Amino acid sequence: MFSELVVAYLFLGGTGAGTCAVTAVLGLAADGEEMRRAAAVRFRDDDGRLYGEFFGTALIWAIGALVLGMICLMADVGRPDRLLLLAAAGPTSYLAVGAWALCGCLLLAGVLVLAWRGLVPASLLYLRALCGLLLAAAAITAAYTGLLLADMASVPLWHSPWLPPLFVVSSLSCGVALVQMSASFGRAATAFRATLRVLIRVDGLLIVAEAAVLAAWLASVWAGAGAGLSAGALTATDQAALASALLLLEGSCAPLFWLGLVGVGLAVPLVADVVMMRGAAGGRSYTLSALSFRSALLGSAFCVLVGGVCLRAAVVAAAVLPTVAASL
């Protein structure tokens, strides 16, 4: 029903979309006068090249994630022409809208890479407009997979209003992580250190939000099935929902859930974010060196991405196994 390739697509597509969204927001929030001056010389002076390195590199990583995700999906489908037919069919379903949004993300990100790198002329207004359009396309791309799964009433673990926001928050968190990683391997880690500090705070908030939405999602699934149990009329759907929840909490999917998602994906990066925020605040008692800051940033980002993979793998596995068993 859902293979590892689909899980990879869900992760890569969400991460790529989240990275596009985060980069677009940062582009909209950047200092207008500095961007105008850099754009006037096509980002070819010292400051302009730093802009190109920070924004352009992040978007290249986002494009790579989106393209890899599409390759995984095409490999799983087995016939790429089906995806082309879907894209040409028009916006008539979540899947079609998502396909168009994904194509829009790739196109807009590619144009912005050319602009940030100074390969094409760009004004401040042009950059702002592209960032706004990219943000809209990325938001749709990040949301549509959760909406698509939540629309499947036959799979009770997915049929919840909490699943789409869970996927969106996870995608944004993974997007922040990918921006942090892309900036950590060049001069941008120093030049945009203030921006990275803001992203650390944002990442901490996203992790807390993801944990809250995750708890609300599981509680809604459990409460929905428990209503049938308390009424003494447990349906096959209720049984599948309880089986899925138990698989996540104490069954075969528990290591993915507790160790991969909750432990590595949420707890460890949250602690790392607190440590980095304390170090960034400075003071005599505690200050992170540039090397320690970069190492902590990379480690936290890596853990967030691991958590993103585990979330999607656990959500798919815990939903599919009871559904398949019930159909046998």
The amino acid sitting at 249 is L
What per-residue confidence (pLDDT) applies to 74?
A: 84
- For residue 244, CA distances in Å to 74, 158, 240, 257, 318 come to 28, 10, 6, 12, 5
The CA-based dihedral angle spanning residues 56, 57, 61, 63, taken in that order and rounded to the nearest 10 degrees: 20
- pLDDT of 292-318, one tens digit each? 788 889 999 999 999 999 999 999 999
pLDDT at residue 285, rounded to an integer: 42
What per-residue confidence (pLDDT) applies to 96?
Answer: 79
Considering only CA atoms, which of 9, 18, 10, 13 is closest in space to residue 202? 18
Q: What angle do CA 193, 197, 111 make, to 5 degrees?
A: 65
Give me the helices (H) in the chain, please. Answer: 4-29, 32-40, 46-51, 57-77, 80-88, 94-116, 124-150, 163-184, 188-191, 193-230, 236-249, 254, 268-281, 290-327
Q: What is the pLDDT of residues 66-121, one digit of tens each?
A: 999 999 888 877 666 666 665 555 545 777 788 889 999 999 999 999 999 999 99
Amino acid at the residue 193: R
Structure tokens at 76: 């799983």
Cβ-count burial of 290 within 10 angstroms (0-12 exposed, 13-18 middle, 19+ buried)?
exposed
Per the structure block, which two tokens stand in for 235?
Answer: 């349906």
Q: Show the DSSP H helices in 78-119 as ranges.
A: 80-88, 94-116
Residues sharing a CB contact under 8 Å with residue 300, sequence separation 6 or more, in sequence order: 177, 180, 200, 203, 268, 269, 272, 273, 276
| pLDDT tens profile 231-287 | 556 677 778 888 888 899 999 999 999 999 999 999 999 999 998 888 765 544 445
pLDDT at 132 over 60: yes
**pLDDT one-digit tens code per residue, 182-216:** 998 878 888 888 899 999 999 999 999 999 999 99
Looking at the whole model, is its pTM more than 0.85? yes
Joined together, the tokens standing for residue 239 give: 């049984």
Reduce the DSSP state of residue 23 to 3 states and report it. Answer: helix
pLDDT of residue 218: 92
User: Three-state SS for 121?
Assistant: coil
Higher pLDDT: 304 or 151? It is: 304
Mean pLDDT throughout 131-159? Answer: 92
For residue 324, the model assigns a pLDDT of 47
Is the pLDDT reported for residue 12 higher than 80? Answer: yes
Asked if residues 166 and 210 have their Cβ atoms less than 8 Å apart, the reply is yes
Task: Give the Cα separation of 72 and 242 in Å (integer).
Answer: 31
pLDDT of residue 327: 47
Report whether 131 contacts 27 (CB < 8 A). Answer: yes
